[in-house]
Amino acid sequence: MVNNITISTIANATEDEEKVLNAMVFFLPEIIEEDDLETETVETEGNFGNPIEIHTVKISGKKAKLVFNYIIDLIKSDERNVNRLKKELDSRIEKNKLYLRFDKQKAYLEECKLFDGDDTVRIVVNFKIFVPSGKEEKVKEMVLERLDKRGVF
């Protein structure tokens, strides 16, 4: 039921690019190989004219399901993440997409922390849902089932 997942983050000129990329890789299980990923880097300017790079990784198809399950398991590694996600789930879903933001510094240290600040790794999970209405409710149901370990899809 997972169509694709997009993982993105911004690397400021003052940051070590390798560390930024490692923060993104933290959200990928070891079974995912470079050939499974569509990667893109866009060079642009920040608010004050400082150079930044926007790194994006996209995973599609069957591998996206593996990545989604892995991310949910990372979230479940800390009860505070689970409680926060359940509390904020309605505001993190739009149509058939789930929006998550994680602390980039913690991710580099291999810790999973839901976070709404500026320095984040952003993850968008796009689900395959073929109903004309009620997509948000279906996404919510699937995420809660996976969080509660009642279902794996």
pTM for this model (two decimals): 0.92
In a domain, 78, yes or no: yes
In a domain, 101, yes or no: yes
Alpha carbons within 13 A on the beta-carbon side of 33? 1
Residue 147: is its pLDDT beyond 80? yes
Structure tokens at 133: 């209405």
In a domain, 153, yes or no: no
The range of the structural domain enclosing residue 77 comes to 2-148
Residue 11: is its pLDDT beyond 90? yes
CATH number at residue 142: 3.30.1440.10
- Residues constituting the chain: 153
Amino acid identity, position 68: F
Q: What's the rounded Cα separation, in Å, for the pair 81 and 75?
A: 6
Specify the pLDDT at position 49: 86
In a domain, 134, yes or no: yes
In a domain, 60, yes or no: yes
In a domain, 33, yes or no: yes
For the chain, how many structural domains are there in total? 1
